[in-house]
């Protein structure tokens, strides 16, 4: 039968051809070198690696990298960031990052000026060392030293790029609050029921984690494996949990099996029912 009578076959073939052309924009030697530094990506099945390669090529075309403090962002650096940033959106698509363009890369941590108003209305200024920051509508700020350690940090369940880009994903519905936009049919539910399930699951896990952190800090109990920074706010808990979910899922699942299922439903729609 002709492709005209079944145009979706022609479109499927054309899309596959276009995706292959996109992937070819990344030289094999560069791709292999970057994956050699990211074992949690190199361990993915070949089909997922190919999808990630295509998405990373599109990401690089749509974003603008800026080196700060004299840093020159090389092709390898940009690709490493792109690959890690695209892990959470492999099944969501690049539109999930569609409301910002700029990515600023510093060589080392940045001392940011903060201000806080106390109960008396007095504003206090202080400095805070920052490894990364995601501002709504961009840019995303990263420090290359920390990004370059992604392969080593995976054992600890940590990944700066995923953390900051998940904040951007979280903020798509207005603000980063630990509740990103949920896909249609999330967990077989819709609307308020889906939202309620997500909020209850995350809140329960966060409260349990906060108690573990408090017991470790106050009474010397064993510290939780997950980064204790996640205890500071629901949005930070979501971002910290996503780091571990993507870079060391087996270890993450030991402590947060309840979160794995809802994360699968968000990042891998349909997989939680298999």
CATH number of the domain enclosing 223: 3.40.390.10
Least confident span in 53-62, 87-96, 106-115? 106-115
Residue 144 and residue 41 share a domain: yes
Residue 259 and residue 186 share a domain: yes
pLDDT at 58: 93
197-204: long-range contacts, CB 8 A cutoff, minimum separation 24: 197/262, 198/262, 198/266, 201/258, 201/259, 201/262, 202/178, 202/234, 202/237, 202/238, 202/259, 202/262, 203/234, 204/258
Mean pLDDT of 200-215: 97
Q: Sorting pLDDT into bands at 50, 70 and 90, what band is 217? A: very high
Q: Sorting pLDDT into bands at 50, 70 and 90, what band is 12? A: very low
The number of folded domains in the chain is 2
Q: Sorting pLDDT into bands at 50, 70 and 90, what band is 3? A: very low
Cα 172 to Cα 226: distance, rounded to the nearest angstrom:
25
Give a yes or no: residue 169 inside a domain: no
Q: What are phi and psi of 38, to 5 degrees?
A: -125, 80
Give a yes or no: residue 168 inside a domain: no
pLDDT at 127: 55
Task: Reply yes or no on whether the pLDDT at 188 is more than 60.
Answer: yes
Give a yes or no: residue 162 inside a domain: no
Of 126, 156, 186, the residue at which a domain comes to its end is 156
pLDDT at 10: 53
* Residue 188 falls in which region: left (phi positive, over 0), alpha (psi -120 to 50) or beta: left
pLDDT at 165: 97
Domain membership of residue 207 as a residue range = 177-274
In this prediction the pTM is 0.87
Residue 125 and residue 56 share a domain: yes
Task: Reply yes or no on whether the pLDDT at 118 is more than 80.
Answer: no
Give a yes or no: residue 3 inside a domain: no
């Amino acid at each position: 039968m002709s492709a005209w009578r079944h145009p979706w076959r022609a479109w499927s073939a054309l899309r596959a051809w276009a995706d292959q052309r996109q992937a070819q924009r990344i030289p094999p030697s560069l791709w292999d070198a970057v994956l050699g530094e990211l074992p949690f990506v190199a361990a993915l099945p070949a089909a997922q690696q190919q999808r990630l390669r295509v998405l990373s090529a599109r990401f690089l075309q749509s974003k603008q990298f800026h080196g700060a403090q004299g840093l020159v962002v090389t092709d390898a650096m940009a690709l490493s960031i792109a690959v890690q940033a695209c892990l959470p959106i492999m099944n969501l698509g690049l539109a999930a990052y569609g409301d910002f363009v700029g990515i600023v890369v510093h060589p080392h941590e940045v001392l940011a000026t903060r201000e806080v108003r106390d109960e008396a209305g007095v504003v206090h200024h202080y400095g805070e060392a920052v490894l990364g920051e995601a501002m709504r509508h961009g840019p995303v700020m990263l420090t290359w030293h920390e990004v370059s350690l992604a392969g080593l940090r995976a054992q600890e369940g940590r990944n700066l790029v995923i953390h900051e880009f998940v904040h951007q994903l979280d903020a798509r519905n207005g603000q980063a609050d630990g509740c990103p936009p949920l896909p249609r049919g999330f967990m077989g539910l819709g609307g308020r029921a889906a939202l309620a399930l997500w909020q209850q699951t995350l809140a329960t896990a966060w409260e349990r984690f906060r108690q573990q952190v408090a017991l470790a800090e106050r009474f010397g109990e064993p510290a939780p494996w997950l980064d204790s920074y996640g205890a500071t706010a629901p949005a930070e808990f979501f971002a910290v949990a996503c780091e571990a979910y993507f870079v060391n899922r087996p270890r993450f699942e030991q402590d947060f099996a309840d979160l794995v299922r809802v994360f699968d439903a968000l990042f891998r729609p349909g997989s939680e029912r298999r």
